[in-house]
Amino acid sequence: RKEVEQDPGPFNVPEGATVAFNCTYSNSASQSFFWYRQDCRKEPKLLMSVYSSGNEDGRFTAQLNRASQYISLLIRDSKLSDSATYLCVVNGGFGNEKLTFGTGTRLTIIP
């Protein structure tokens, strides 16, 4: 089983729609969870951090379910500029500075 698993997509979604991504992780000791956004041929950029059950920032909501080892990202009222690859990222446990990246979910917003 992969340490971090994501549906690779691609997701092709009309502008204004709501889209949700799922991610599962295998290390039950993981404490920190992140969603990064990566545009084509660019570096990953932090979108959201999740340390408790969830986090909301404008149109973006992340939820964490520790019992099921599952993280989700919800994007509401999607915009053309949301087109990117979304990486689910998990740390190795308390005091472990290393992060494990999922392979990403590709999202394209269609006008």
Partner 1 sequence: DAMVIQNPRYQVTQFGKPVTLSCSQTLNHNVMYWYQQKSSQAPKLLFHYYDKDFNNEADTPDNFQSRRPNTSFCFLDIRSPGLGDAAMYLCATSRDGQGNLGSDTQYFGPGTRLTVL
Which of 65, 68, 46 has its CA nearest to residue 57? 46
Which residue lies nearer to partner 1 by CB, 38 or 72? 38
Which residue bears the tokens 């509401």? Answer: 76
**Rounded distance between C-alpha atoms, residue 74 and residue 78, angstroms:** 10
User: Smallest gap, in angstroms, from Cβ of residue 101 to partner 1?
Assistant: 4
To partner 1, the closest distance from the beta carbon of 51 in angstroms equals: 6
For partner 1, the closer of residues 22 and 31 by Cβ is 31
Query: Strand 99-101 vs strand 4-6: parallel, antiparallel, or unpaired?
Result: unpaired
Contact set with partner 1 (CB under 8 A):
4, 31-32, 34, 41-46, 49, 51, 87, 91, 94-99, 101-104
